[in-house]
Amino acid sequence: MKKYIIILLIISLSACEEPVRWQLDDHITPRLVVEGMLSNRPGLNYVRLSLPVRNPNNPPQAVSSATVIISDGDEYHFLNEDENNPGMYLAAPAVRGVINRIYWLYIAVGDHEFTAGAYMVPVSPLKEFRYYRDPGMPGHYRIIPTESNTPAYIEYIVDWQDDSTDSAMNSVFYTYSLSTLDVSQFFKPAAEILSFPAGARIIRTKYSLSPDHEKYIRSLLAETEWRGGWFDVMHGNLHTNITNGAVGFFAASSVLRDTVYFE
């Protein structure tokens, strides 16, 4: 409670604009979608705010002119909205998290306030990058997903040049290492396997998962990638650490990254 009082005091002293009037549809619950990340690397610290949509095919409506603060209880960092990307709030390059610390998120949109807390745990080392030749496409390769000794997820960004069309190609996918196995995870639907040619560049970014963050990831996978298998579970609300009826998650993850080039 003391942290929130300090944050509110800072906002009241630094405010220099007219209050934002946020028009809400009372029939839409929850009222805010939050996607937040604080890491130990510059450029990976952001908060994205949007409103929920009724039709999943519609793009989310960005929430602009919000006050967004990340704090460790001692220092308070105001995030600035990206002029070219409404609803995306970016931390200054010097802002980065430290393992084994708790971080707090504060969001104010008009008269509405939302808070969250996240704990940053260490990330285990990236294991050796592994791959094999695609038996169906000569000169192409497939990635063998890297397992982790601790809960984590890995983002793979694969870039290459398509010689047949002379165009740049890009693909992104994620793999997850969780502390326990679910039946729906074991019998999840088959996913498309990415095949890429020589000359490709693969960037691996590994994010640590705290127990609370892992719970959110598990609930998200149960509603997305694991949906449609033999042992589907009943639909449910995603786990969240955001207060006041919002959904989404504010995560604090330590990160490792490497790059592999195929010649």
What are the residue ranges spanned by the domains of the chain?
Answer: 2-119, 130-236+254-261
pLDDT of 102: 97
Helix (H) or strand (E) holding 214: helix 211-223
The domain defined by 2-119 carries CATH number 1.10.3470: no
- Distance, in Å, from the CA atom of 205 to the CA atom of 75, rounded to the nearest integer, reads 27
pLDDT tens digits, residue range 74-115?
999 999 999 999 999 999 999 999 999 999 999 999 999 999
What pLDDT is attached to residue 145?
85
Task: Quote the strand ranges of the chain, DSSP E.
Answer: 33-39, 46-51, 61-62, 67-71, 76-78, 80-81, 88-90, 102-109, 112-119, 130-133, 140-144, 152-162, 167-177, 196-197, 201-208, 247-253, 255-261
The confidence score (pLDDT) of residue 182 equals 56
Residue 158 has pLDDT above 60, yes or no: yes
pTM over 0.85: no
What CA–CA distance (Å, rounded) separates 126 from 256? 7
**Which token pair is 109?**
């949109």
Residue 15: its pLDDT value, please? Answer: 46
Q: What is the pLDDT of residues 101-155, one digit of tens each?
A: 999 999 999 999 999 999 999 999 999 999 999 998 888 899 988 888 899 999 9
Q: Is there a cis peptide before residue 145, judged by omega within 30 degrees of 0?
A: no
What pLDDT does 185 receive?
A: 45
